[in-house]
């Protein structure tokens, strides 16, 4: 109602002034940007997290790594078969060179050499599998720590981004308040000047009528 009265009192200029007062004056807009996570980070996390878990548990490893953590694996069996075959052939050749290739002594010597090699290699295979399991677990733990560190870094970046956004938004709000105060002061001055002008005109008209 007060704004409408200003429009009537001051004519077209008053109408503009009343409209400005109704709108609350000019505003400064702040369009807050959104935080965007690096897609490479998301992709790496999604693939590395389950892989690190499998390293820690020793289960679900890719086929290329499975032989490293199990005993008597197919790869070990192939290696053992070739090794014992070579030992058997070398022993038989040596016995034959001594003229006892077809004797029971040669057969016993060959069997003993193969048995010793098999026992030694099997024990070493067991030790290797245990050592590899520990190393895999250590790699998994390290990778989990790296992923946790990456997650904290990403979260910290997002928090800092949001804090900056909040500060910018608060600054914009303060700027709008300052603009509104300036507009209100300007309107007050305009209204005071207009009232004085109307009073003077009214006084002059009364004197002229007298």
Average pLDDT, the chain: 74
pLDDT less than 70: residues of the chain = 1-32, 60, 101-103, 106, 169-210
Q: Read off the pTM.
A: 0.54
Please report the pLDDT score of residue 94 as a whole number: 77
3-state secondary structure the chain: CHHHHHHHHHHHHHHHHHHHHHHCCCCCCCCCCCCCCCHHHHHHHHHHHHHHHHHHHCCCCCHHHHHHHCCCCHHHHHHHHHHHHHHHHHHHHHHHHCCCCCCHHHHHHHHHHHHHHHHHHHHHHHHHHHHHHHHHHHHHHHHHHHHHHHHHHHHHHHHHHHHHHHHHHHHHHHHHHHHHHHHHHHHHHHHHHHHHHHHHHHHHHHHHHC
> What pLDDT is stored for residue 36 in this prediction?
78
- Residue 26's pLDDT is 53
Domain layout of the chain by residue ranges: 62-144, 173-210
- Residue 82 pLDDT: 92
């Amino acid at each position: 109602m007060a704004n409408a009265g200003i429009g009537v009192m001051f004519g077209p200029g008053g109408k503009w002034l009343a409209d400005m007062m109704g709108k609350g004056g000019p505003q400064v807009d702040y369009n807050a940007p959104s935080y965007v996570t690096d897609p490479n980070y998301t992709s790496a996390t999604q693939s590395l997290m389950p892989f690190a878990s499998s390293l820690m548990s020793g289960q679900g490893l890719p086929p290329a790594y499975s032989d490293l953590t199990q005993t008597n694996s197919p790869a070990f069996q192939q290696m053992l078969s070739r090794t014992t075959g070579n030992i058997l052939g070398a022993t038989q050749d040596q016995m034959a060179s001594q003229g006892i290739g077809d004797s029971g002594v040669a057969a016993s010597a060959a069997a003993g050499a193969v048995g010793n090699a098999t026992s030694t290699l099997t024990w070493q295979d067991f030790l290797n599998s245990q050592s590899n399991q520990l190393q895999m677990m250590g790699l998994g733990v390290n990778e989990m720590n790296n992923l946790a560190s990456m997650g904290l870094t990403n979260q910290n970046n997002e928090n800092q981004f949001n804090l900056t956004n909040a500060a910018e938004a608060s600054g914009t709000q303060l700027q709008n308040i300052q603009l509104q105060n300036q507009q209100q002061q300007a309107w007050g001055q305009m209204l005071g000047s207009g009232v004085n002008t109307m009073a003077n005109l009214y006084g002059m008209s009364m004197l002229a009528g007298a």
